[in-house]
């Protein structure tokens, strides 16, 4: 069964922006006849907060979001899928598509790049190290693994594009991005690609702040699972919720979680209605909003949240 997914990180309570994106993931999936999977992206154990998974599940349920089981499991945890990621990384290594990188963030930031290369692009410092050089660098610092992406003879990265329902065509250069961190943990870009493909996810709805990484992920999906599989994925990167200063909403902005707003007298139903109206949809149960849902009619601009009493 084709599916969409909502994939929060259990690092604390969900704020309005998270809940709004979750509602959109539900609407997109149900409107297209897809299942919707709940996946907790808990690879970064330092950021995982005890009890956050339960709290987030309760918040989503209170908004009316329902999720489908995968092989009898009500949710997916990335922390329980390490062997699957390791197998994908091993395959890339065997195919000569991964290499060790010993660079620190500072070294990458300060390194010279090819002309016109986007800011943040990996300059290729460790791409062609000799074995002797790698042995020497291993003694200094543990290595991360990077994807060996295609480059021209001049060292220029190739471009890759995906089509997005909201943003149109997204094109970026395919960078030598990290697929395994230097602590041995799988990197985010690798884990989400593996998870999405192996769980049948062919619809990705998330905030538009993640749009720039999408061509890289689509390219990796093509390498691992075939270009047909990569081309089948439907993307929708939706506008964010901003605070009154025009910055991306965060929990530090105060009463922006369900629990905090409930203390201000805004219950779950009122919060759901507030978010629906911000999307140009009628207030009421999600099933009712689904009847009016048109992906092409979504607001193109971010929504600015005005806290109660402001």
Orientation of helix 268-278 relative to helix 16-31, angle to 10°: 70
Does the pLDDT of residue 175 top 70, yes or no? yes
Q: What is the pTM of this model?
A: 0.93
The stretch 70-74 carries a mean pLDDT of 91
pLDDT of 136: 93
Mean pLDDT across the chain, nearest whole number?
92
> How sure is the predictor about 39, in pLDDT bands with cuts at 50, 70 and 90?
very high
Nearest CA to 219 out of 35, 123, 92 is that of 92
Using CA atoms, how far apart are residues 86 and 185, in angstroms rounded to an integer? 9
The CATH 3.40.50.620 domain(s) of the chain lie at 3-79+239-304
> How sure is the predictor about 119, in pLDDT bands with cuts at 50, 70 and 90?
low
Does the pLDDT of residue 77 top 90, yes or no? yes
Using CA atoms, how far apart are residues 36 and 219, in angstroms rounded to an integer? 24
Does the pLDDT of residue 110 top 80, yes or no? no
pLDDT of 308: 73
Lowest mean pLDDT segment, chosen from 107-121, 214-228, 269-283: 107-121
> How sure is the predictor about 251, in pLDDT bands with cuts at 50, 70 and 90?
confident
> How sure is the predictor about 253, in pLDDT bands with cuts at 50, 70 and 90?
confident
Q: DSSP 3-state assignment of 211?
A: helix
pLDDT of 309: 61
CATH topology of domain 84-180: 3.90.800
Which helix (H) or strand (E) covers residue 138, if one does? Answer: helix 131-138
The CATH 3.90.800.10 domain(s) of the chain lie at 84-180
The stretch 269-292 carries a mean pLDDT of 96
φ, ψ for residue 270, nearest 5 deg:
-65, -35
Q: DSSP 3-state assignment of 110?
A: helix
> How sure is the predictor about 76, in pLDDT bands with cuts at 50, 70 and 90?
very high
Does the pLDDT of residue 248 top 70, yes or no? yes
Q: Could you give the residue ranges of the DSSP H alpha helices within 152-267?
A: 188-198, 214-225, 227-231, 258-263
Q: What would the CATH number be for the domain defined by 3-79+239-304?
A: 3.40.50.620
pLDDT of 267: 95
């Amino acid at each position: 069964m084709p599916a969409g997914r909502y994939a929060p990180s259990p690092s604390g309570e969900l704020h309005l922006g998270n809940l709004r994106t979750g509602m959109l993931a539900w609407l997109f999936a149900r409107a297209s006849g897809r299942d919707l999977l709940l996946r907790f992206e808990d690879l970064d154990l330092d950021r995982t907060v005890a009890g956050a998974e339960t709290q987030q599940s309760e918040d989503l349920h209170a908004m009316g979001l329902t999720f489908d089981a995968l092989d009898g499991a009500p949710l997916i945890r990335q922390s329980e899928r390490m062997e699957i990621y390791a197998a994908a990384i091993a395959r890339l290594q065997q195919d000569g598509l991964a290499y060790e990188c010993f660079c620190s963030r500072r070294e990458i930031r300060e390194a010279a790049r090819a002309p016109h290369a986007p800011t943040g692009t990996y300059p290729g410092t460790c791409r062609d190290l000799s074995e002797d050089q790698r042995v020497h660098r291993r003694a200094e610092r543990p290595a991360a693994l990077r994807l060996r992406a295609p480059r021209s003879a001049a060292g220029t990265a190739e471009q890759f594009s995906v089509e997005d329902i909201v943003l149109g065509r997204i094109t970026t250069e395919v960078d030598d991005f990290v697929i395994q961190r230097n602590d041995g943990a799988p990197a985010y870009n690798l884990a989400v690609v593996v998870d999405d493909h192996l769980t049948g996810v062919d619809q990705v709805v998330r905030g538009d702040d993640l749009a720039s990484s999408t061509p890289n992920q689509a390219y990796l999906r093509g390498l691992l699972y075939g270009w047909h599989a990569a081309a089948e994925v439907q993307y929708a990167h939706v506008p964010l919720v901003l605070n009154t200063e025009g910055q991306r909403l965060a929990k530090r902005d105060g009463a922006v979680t369900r629990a905090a707003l409930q203390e201000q007298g805004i219950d779950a139903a009122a919060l759901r209605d507030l978010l629906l109206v911000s999307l140009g949809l009628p207030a009421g149960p999600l099933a009712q909003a689904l009847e009016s849902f048109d992906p092409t009619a979504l607001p193109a601009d971010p929504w600015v949240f005005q806290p109660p009493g402001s």
